[in-house]
Amino acid sequence: MNVLTEAVLRSQLKKHKLDRYEVRSDMIITPSARQYLKENNIELVVQEEITASKGRQVEEKIQDEPKKPKYICSYTGGYFDEKPEFMTQLYGNKLVYKDHPRIVLRGKLDSIQSKTLELQLMAHNKKLEGLKKDLNEVLILLRNILRAEVLEEELKALTLFGYREEALREMSHHPKKYFNIDHVLPNYEMGEMVLGLNTLRSSTREVELAAIHAFKSDGEFHRVDIIQGLNRLSSGIYILMCRTVSGFYK
């Protein structure tokens, strides 16, 4: 059940002046919150609060009101004409604080795309065309994951470098069988390309943890497709490390 407190109001309205504040009819409003609105001359408007005796009066008031503000607070149901600097859109016009777990996840997905692009440029400069092409597949998958999260779409069946999920997992677990090398233990002598891929791999693990935090609720996990996709992505990047160390791209 949603509760509107004075503390929430102070946080939301710290940098924004409003004449009216609208909440849903099922919102519990604390006395101190009501007093805060009153002291600041902000009209409290409750949605769907239409009774038989006041129906016509409320209906007329709604008709006279200007168009509804552009944004809705996901925590209180309140409306904003302007987006507060400390909030951003979760989806549609629903606003959340910028430290919301899903917004944090989006930021990490954005950062890892930047790292992928830097490695692509490095591969291009080193004339490693095969690796540059494989990194482009990584970039496309990252963008598809971000799209699936933002638009709340299902992540399509994952493939990388022509392999499906099961094959990626198998290859990453048995590098001796597939690349004729032992598991890669990175060191500086392996060069900047391998170390860059290792950074990308470890960053993917951080994104996966952010996804787990964003989609875990009451001990249950949502968007397992995204979590699994990130797990397989880290396997795919490890395969790129193994390929690079074994001389696959030369």
49-92 pLDDT, tens digit each:
434 344 444 444 444 455 566 888 888 888 888 888 998 998 88
Phi, psi for 197 (deg, rounded to 5): -65, -35
Which run of H or of E encompasses 71? strand 71-73
Tell me the range of 35-39, 61-65, 66-70, 121-125 where mean pLDDT is highest.
Answer: 121-125
Cβ(212)–Cβ(221) below 8 Å: yes
Q: Is the pLDDT of residue 95 over 60?
A: yes
pLDDT of residue 5: 79
Burial group, residue 163, by CB count within 10 angstroms (0-12, 13-18, 19+): middle
The CATH topology of domain 101-246 is Hypothetical Protein Ta1238; Chain: A; (1.20.1200)
127-165 pLDDT, tens digit each:
999 999 999 999 999 999 999 999 989 998 889 999 999
Give ranges for CATH 1.20.1200 in the chain. Answer: 101-246
Axis-axis angle for helices 6-13, 31-39 (nearest 10): 40
The pTM (predicted TM-score) of the whole model is 0.71
25 beta partners: none
pLDDT confidence bin for 38, thresholds 50/70/90: confident
pLDDT of residue 67: 58
The pLDDT mean for the chain works out to 86
185-226 pLDDT, tens digit each:
999 999 999 999 999 999 999 999 999 999 998 788 888 999
